[in-house]
Amino acid sequence: MSNPISPLTFILAEDNRSTRRVVRNLLDEYDTPIELIDVDNGDALTELYRSRPPGSIDLVILDLNLLRTHKNGLSGLQAVQKLPEPIPFIVLTVDSTLRSVRAALAAGALGYCVKPPTAENLLPAVEVALAHSRLQQTYIAIGALMACHHLTQEEATSYVKSASAAERRIPQDIAQGILNALEANRYLHRLTPP
């Protein structure tokens, strides 16, 4: 029995309507369903992100030069840096200078795509960013198992691999389940009366 593929949730932070339409059409070609939420400025990005449950956004596709809604509005990089936790993101921009690429990487970008977006430049950037993000989640889950259950790294890694084989799921899915369980446990402890 196979599990239906859960859709990924992306935020597209792009102020150009035609670029949003092109990106939406390109992501329709991706082999996993994607719920794409559009925002057109940095302030809207931070507001949307904070309104969502932790871990519910799989990737942000970010225009570096987002429209600022007011004098003190946030640029694309400023917006992701203001988020309460790191989020996987790739940059989509007309700026192909090495200085801009380095600034994006220093801010935590997992990919860099120069406009105009095409299937040849956007989809590989998305795939690499998602793979990197999943790998990070696996390492975080292994670390959490080590801390919570006093396991060695080898024991925690073995647990993830064994659960993956037993459930016929990829290790990243097991890692996500572990992280979800830990988050639920923290939430339940906050609800428990003293």
Tell me whether residue 122 is in a domain: no
Q: In terms of Cα–Cα distance, which of 58, 60, 53 is closest to 38?
A: 60
Q: Say how many Å lie between the first and final Cα of the chain, rounded.
A: 44
Choosing from 87, 117, 147, the residue where a domain stops is 117
For residue 63, the model assigns a pLDDT of: 92
* pTM of the model as a whole: 0.74
Looking at the structure, tell me whether residues 81 and 112 fall in a common domain: yes
CB-CB neighbours of 158 under 10 Å:
13
Tell me whether residue 1 is in a domain: no
**Which domain, by its residues, includes 74?**
8-117
Looking at the structure, tell me whether residues 178 and 113 fall in a common domain: no
Q: What is the chain's mean pLDDT, rounded? A: 84
pLDDT digits (tens, 9 = 90+) for 159-173: 888 888 898 887 878
Looking at the structure, tell me whether residues 81 and 166 fall in a common domain: no
